[in-house]
Amino acid sequence: MKAPAPLEALTEALRRLPGVGARSAQRFAYHLLQHDREGAALLARALSEAVTRIRHCSRCNTFTELEVCETCSSPRRDPSQLCVVETPADQLMVEQTMAYNGLYFVLMGRLSPLDGIGPKQIGLARLLERAADPALREVILATNFTQEGEATAHYIGELLRARGLKVSRLARGVPVGSELEYVDPSTIAQAMRDRRSV
Amino acid sequence: MKAPAPLEALTEALRRLPGVGARSAQRFAYHLLQHDREGAALLARALSEAVTRIRHCSRCNTFTELEVCETCSSPRRDPSQLCVVETPADQLMVEQTMAYNGLYFVLMGRLSPLDGIGPKQIGLARLLERAADPALREVILATNFTQEGEATAHYIGELLRARGLKVSRLARGVPVGSELEYVDPSTIAQAMRDRRSV
């Protein structure tokens, strides 16, 4: 006896979620079919919608439904500052501090040579192109304060300084070893104010 | 600044998975959109398929694509025995033992008055109907050995015995391969009471 094929397929598909193993996937599948078929249908639609409608902003690379995201096209943002973050989640976190009014570039990753993630994989060419904007005065590196984030910041810093840009890094008010997404906004605000040239 | 609507909707929908909070849901959504859009599309299809095609067997209530599941319609199963389990996962587990060749009834839950789950919610009326089958000689209660599972077994046992059926319960005792030193005292006490001649 085996579980019916569509149930097996659903369990298998749920394992694509990060950190979800065979047991959890089965628990998710059974829960949805037993107790929340409406939720399952809703999730199916949300996934299709997101995959179809979410793309990357052509300027800053963040998730958006538009060709150019709302932040990049806002006249209220200061075009002389560019904050480089690893993920859209990090960008949201910086926004929540209300301590920054410039623009962003989202790497969608970090340098990680051991995992085969080099400058090409995180699209550094696009960042350099973006950084050629004559309105730009300063690039603020807000990658995570992990080893990989620091290495990424260092690498990007070298490249941008060589192009004559002022480059700064969030101050080490942020606890070393932690990820932006999990730090409280006031700590990030402090680090934004104390950013230093590198 | 907010995340784009389809991304918010996806995060919200992922929270319908049991035990998944806001943080995990966001992590799942970002992972799928950044690193595994194919997986997201696959999961969307698997969910729709499962919701459309999976229903409950009209005899045993388990998940199936058929009106009557393969186990219930198999001529090789012994129709004089009926094993009552809480979930299809439990049913698969009993099947894997190769120690049982009768039929099943899947409650799709357990009695849990505090959560508002009474006899109606777990469809006991359908079990009683099923148990009216004249071919049936014995009902084996294989609900979990938790407080709720035990209460469910007790309740069902009373009902079925009142209808003149032989009712049994899986034996309680020391798990195979375990060392007494590491088994909890109540299990050993139970095994002592239920000891059998050898």
B chain contacts of residue A9, beta-carbon cutoff 8 Å:
46, 49-50
pLDDT tens figures, B92-129: 888 888 889 999 999 988 888 888 888 888 878 999 99
What is the token pair recorded at A127?
């960042």
A84/A160 same-domain check: yes
Q: Is B13 in Cβ contact with A47 (below 8 Å)?
A: yes
A39 and A91 fall within a common domain: no
Nearest to A65 among B6, B10, B51 (CB): B6
Residues of B in contact with A41 (CB under 8 A): 47-48, 51
Contacting residues of B for A51, CB less than 8 Å apart: 32-33, 37, 40-41, 44
pTM of the model: 0.77
**B173 belongs to a structural domain:** no
Q: Cβ of B49 under 8 Å from any chain A Cβ?
A: yes
Q: What is the pLDDT of residue B1?
A: 66
B197 lies in some domain = no
In chain B, residues with a C-beta closer than 8 Å to the C-beta of A89 are: 26, 30
Task: Check residue A132 and give its pLDDT.
Answer: 93
Residue-wise pLDDT tens digits, B42-75:
999 999 999 999 999 999 999 999 999 999 999 9
Predicted confidence (pLDDT) at residue B187 exceeds the cutoff of 90: no
Q: Give me the total of CB pairs closer than 8 Å, taking one residue from chain A and one from chain B.
A: 168
Look up the domain containing A109 and give its range: 78-167
Q: Does residue A174 belong to any structural domain of this protein?
A: no
Q: How many domains does chain B have?
A: 2
Pair (A95, A37) in one structural domain: no
The minimum CA-CA distance between B164 and chain A, rounded to whole Å, is 30
| Residues A29, A88 within the same domain | no
Contacts of A196 (CB under 8 A, 6+ apart): A168, A169, A171
Q: Is residue B15 located within the same domain as residue B82?
A: no
B185: Cβ contacts below 8 Å, ≥ 6 apart: none
What's the number of CA atoms in the CB half-sphere (13 Å) around residue B105?
27
Higher pLDDT, A8 or B123: A8
Find the helix or strand (DSSP H, E) in which B84 lies. strand B78-85
B117 DSSP assignment: B
> Chain centroid to CA B149: how far?
11
pLDDT exceeds cutoff 80 at A173? no
CATH number for position B47: 1.10.8.420
- In-domain check, residue B157: yes
Query: Is the residue at B184 inside a domain?
Result: no
Is B17 inside a domain boundary? yes
Q: How far apart are CA A91 and CA A170, in angstroms?
A: 13
Q: In this structure, is residue A186 part of a structural domain?
A: no
Q: Does A39 share its domain with A93?
A: no
Closest CA to A108 of A50, A160, A53, A56: A56
CB contact set of A38 (below 8 Å; sequence gap of 6+): none
Tokens, residue B51:
């919701």
Nearest-by-Cβ selection for A47 from B26, B44, B88: B44
Domain of A93: which CATH number? 3.40.1360.10
Is residue A139 within 8 Å of A167, Cβ to Cβ? yes
Residue A147 within any structural domain of the chain: yes
Are B45 and B124 within one domain?
A: no
| ∠ CA A165-A97-B2, rounded to 5° | 95
Residue B160 and residue B100 share a domain: yes
